[in-house]
Amino acid sequence: MKTLQFKQQTLTPSKVICIGRNYVEHIKELGNEIPENMVVFNKPNSAITDSLYFIDETTRFEAEICFLVEQNKLSGVGVGLDLTKATIQNKMKEKGLPWERAKAFDGSAVLSDFIALDTPLESLSMKLFVNDTLQQHATYELMMYKPLEMLEEIQSFMSLEDGDVIMSGTPKGVANYKRGDAFQIELYSDEEVILSQTWQAK
């Protein structure tokens, strides 16, 4: 079972809960419709990794602010990459089929360590740099559904266990990547960097 580090603890998530289509500009860049309700899908524990691997030339990255759940509350915050096999996902969407083959494969939830969530949620923002170029920028204000709304909606139909992770959706700027690309995600509280994570695609 894959584990996470949080406050010198090792936690084992049962699942990663992902919020799709949570940023309007990202919805537009992929040509999707704004959903009437929150889009929710899961990645299994086997999807979790702390390393970024090149899958194939059709796989894209989606940087996200992530939240750790303990005792049914948001207790930690981190960052991650939701990897997507775009060609497969497009085929699944065209046929109205589930996305698991495109979203839930092993190694598709690339996660940082988590830090205590002791800063106001509305102060959070994230920047992703790929090969030293700003690629994605997410802020609390740009989220269609805010973190506490996500938590409430998920809990309305699904039990959450300690260590489960919520990936809060990605802003515009998703793209494919190649082996050797360097990723750096900075998580901010207002103007202060509270977490920085780097990966190089293997």
Per residue, the 3-state secondary structure of 70-139, as one string, reads: ECCEEEEEEEEEECEEHHHHHHHHHHCCCCHHHHCCCCCEEECCEEECCCCHHHEEEEEEECCEEEEEEE
Which tokens go with 71?
């005792």
The answer to whether 28 and 189 are in contact (CB under 8 A) is no
What is the mean pLDDT of the segment spanning 96-108?
94
The answer to whether 189 and 119 are in contact (CB under 8 A) is yes
What is the mean pLDDT of the segment spanning 67-78?
98
Q: Indicate if the pLDDT at residue 176 is higher than 90.
A: yes
Which tokens go with 126?
């994230």
Q: Indicate if the pLDDT at residue 74 is higher than 70.
A: yes
Q: Any residues with CB less than 8 A from the CB of 31 and at least 6 apart, and which? A: none
The answer to whether 74 and 148 are in contact (CB under 8 A) is yes
**Superfamily name with CATH number, domain 4-200:** Fumarylacetoacetase-like, C-terminal domain (3.90.850.10)
| 4-8, 17-21, 73-77, 92-96: range with highest mean pLDDT | 73-77
Q: Give the tens place of pLDDT for each residue, 138-154.
A: 999 999 999 999 999 99
Q: Radius of gyration of the chain from Cα atoms?
A: 15
Q: Give the tens place of pLDDT for each residue, 2-25.
A: 999 998 999 999 999 999 889 867
| CA-based torsion, 71, 77, 80, 82: positive or negative | positive
The answer to whether 85 and 53 are in contact (CB under 8 A) is no
Domain range list for the chain: 4-200
- Phi-psi map region of 99: left, alpha, beta (phi>0 left; psi -120 to 50 alpha): alpha
Q: Indicate if the pLDDT at residue 116 is higher than 60.
A: yes
* DSSP-derived 3-state class of residue 28: helix
